[in-house]
Amino acid sequence: MIGVAIATAVLPILVKPVLDDVFVQKDSEKLIYIPIAIVAVYSLKGVCDFGQYFLMSYVGQSVIKDLREEMFSKLEEMSVGFFVRHSTGELLSKMNNDVNMAQGAMTSAITSVVRDAVTVVLLVLVVFYRDFWLALIAMVVFPLAVYPLLHFGRRLKRYSRRMLVSLEDITQRLNETITGIRIVKAFAMEDYERSRFNEVNQTLFNAFMRRFKVRALSNPVMETLGGFGVCAIVYYGGYQVVNGHSTPGTFFSFMAALFMLYEPIKRINEVNMTIQEGIAAGERIFALVDAAPDVVDRPTATVLEAVERGIAFENVSFAYEDQMVLKNLNIEVKAGEAVAIVGESGVGKSTLLDLLPRFYDVTEGRILIDGNDSRDLTQRSLREKIGIVTQQTILFDDTIRNNIAYGRPDMSLESVIDAARAAHAHDFIMALPNGYDTFIGENGIKLSGGERQRIAIARALLKNPPVLILDEATSNLDSDSEKAVQSALEVLMRGRTTIVVAHRLSTIRNVDRIYVLVGGQVAEQGSHDELLTMKGAFARLYSMQFAPDQEPSDADRHNDTRLSETGDR
């Protein structure tokens, strides 16, 4: 950059000998040397220009790459609560739009500031060297040029923030519409969604136009102010030449330096706009990068080696955004036991399960695993010991093999097939065009609900965890799919410490103990038959599912039969 600046400053110095020595005095020797010098200066400038552009681009892109990686790592560190508070559209927009805007400030802007700032300093020295008094006249315009630089910069920063928020809104709207397209079409809401999108799109358009208006005004204002300066310089400089106080070579060398000076100043003004936009984006980026995770490992955290005695929730309470969800819970699950959590919707069953792998930390009380507070264990070792199967199956746009082996990429194909067989998934997998190498689409969209659940169960089986969490894993399935999934779950539960949240109460007849939640508290506990005898909250839930005039479904009969055949389970 310094080489480019020096070469640029040397060029106007060569104007004086060209005019005075070659054209006025007709010096033939200078006619040979000066063109060679011009070629040398331009060659130096070209080499340095390439070097600074390539190297600064490399540095800038490396910074942006590292920043993206740091943002992604931060997202991986954040607790589940963070993703509840921040929408997918907001996070995607920061990763894409904000980083792209900051990229301009990191590459072209920094290059221009350094290169053009040095160029301006050197050209100012040339201007004063050629004519001190003319330079003073020119410098009068400089303070006037600072005002639009600062004023327009502040406005552009403000408008850039609004633009980024609008980009965030439009990304969120797109994400919601695409992921929910079946519901949109099922309810014939295309026109409604189109109007919502058009509304945020118009807001984005307005934000862009205000930003472009500021950018469009910036250069004309600078040029108008520059015109006044040039007018004064031409008059005074011409007066000096006409009266013999200066030579044409000196004047035109001065003017060449002055006009060359205007270009880097103009670019600095333009790059100031880019920097202000980059600052607006940077503030949002670093708000994410600097965010502190809600759930962190304690400095003294130890590794959980095994789960041999069991799990205990001691006086556990949990509040979300000042709303108490769970209150003073006491639940015990001995090693190898299967315990069910039941209750009406919204009583905190799924929240209770989220506390065990520390997706959230308890507000009060503690969760003990083999007598150790879960907060005294490393998150990684804790979660390695827990397998989770939920009603909302999460799969990745990858092959079936890689989805089953997720978290265990070192496992052989034979091990993957064994897990799939145990999960009753092998037959349908082999019926697919590419078997285990079949790509299943975003979130397994190419598979049915039952097939996705069995892939998730196979994934949990391959992980082979000592602790298992089942969160209404069969609630959204048809009867045939539920039969296959329930069979796979029975295999998965054998010999593991299991906590089940059940929608169908018939599926938990043979668990070791059932806890009934009412209002975020344990209202009842006992076996299936004991709770029915109490004629309390569990009996009411059971009667709602199986009214006297309502026969159990085929799926329920099947589940009752199979569960009775599983012995202690």
- Same structural domain, 375 and 409: no
Is 124 within the bounds of a domain? yes
User: From CA 504, how far away is CA 522, in angstroms rounded?
Assistant: 19
Question: Tokens 């607790």 map to which residue?
Answer: 79
Instruction: Examine the domain organization and report whether 440 and 494 are in the same domain.
Output: no
Output the pLDDT for position 563: 36
The confidence score (pLDDT) of residue 365 equals 93
Residue 199 and residue 336 in one domain: no
Q: Are residues 471 and 513 in the same domain?
A: yes
* Parent domain of 333: 310-385+467-569
CATH of the domain at 434: 3.40.50.300
Closest alpha carbon to 399 in 445, 359, 436, 353: 436
Residue 157 CA: distances (Å) to CA of 99, 112, 151, 549, 554 = 15, 19, 10, 68, 64
Q: Please report whether residue 275 resides in a domain.
A: yes
Residue 296 domain flag = no
Identify whether 301 is part of a domain: no
Q: Which of 393, 273, 340, 307 is nearest to 506 (CA)?
A: 340
Please indicate, yes or no, whether residues 280 and 409 belong to a single structural domain of this protein. Answer: no
CB atoms near residue 549 (< 10 Å) = 5
- The β-bridge partners of 499 are 339, 469
Q: Does residue 299 fall inside a structural domain?
A: no
**Same domain membership, residue 209 and residue 151:** yes
Query: How many domains are contained in the chain?
Result: 3
In a domain, 295, yes or no: no
Strands 310-320, 364-369: pairing is: antiparallel
What is the strand order of the sheet 386-390 is part of? 386-390, 467-471, 497-501, 338-343, 513-518, 521-526
The Cβ of residue 234 has, within 10 Å, a number of other Cβ atoms equal to: 13
Give the domain CATH number at 146.
Answer: 1.20.1560.10
| Domain end point (choices 432, 464, 496) | 464
Specify whether 90 is located in the same domain as 213. Answer: yes
98 and 24, same structural domain? yes
What residues does 257 pair with on adjacent strands?
A: none
Residue 366, pLDDT score = 93
Within-domain flag for 169? yes
How many Å apart are CA 262 and CA 285, to the nearest integer?
Answer: 34
Where is the domain boundary, 260, 289, 318? 289
121-180 confidence digits (pLDDT tens): 887 787 777 777 777 766 666 666 666 666 777 777 788 888 888 888 888 888 888 877
pTM above 0.75, yes or no: no
What angle, rounded to 10 degrees, do the helices at 248-289 and 28-77 form?
A: 10
Q: Which of 344-364 are b and which e, b meaning 16 or more Cβ less than 10 Å from the residue's Cβ?
A: eeebbbbbbbbbbbbbbbbee
pLDDT tens digits, 441-478: 888 888 888 888 888 888 888 888 899 888 876 665 66
Do 230 and 152 belong together in one domain? yes
Closest CA to 216 of 270, 274, 141: 270
Task: Return the pLDDT at 332.
Answer: 92
Could you tell me if 23 and 84 lie in one domain?
A: yes
The span from the CA of 176 to the CA of 88, in Å, is: 9
**Segments of the chain with pLDDT less than 50:** 548-569
Considering the domain architecture, whether residues 316 and 427 belong to the same structural domain is answered as no
Q: How far is it, in rounded angstroms, from Cα 188 to Cα 469?
A: 38
Residue 423 is assigned to a structural domain of this protein: yes
Which two three-digit tokens encode residue 138?
A: 């020119």
Same domain, 450 and 471: no
Question: How much of the chain is in helix, strand and coil states, percent to nearest 5?
Answer: 65, 10, 25
Q: Specify the pLDDT at position 477.
A: 61
- In this predicted structure, what is the pLDDT of residue 170? 85
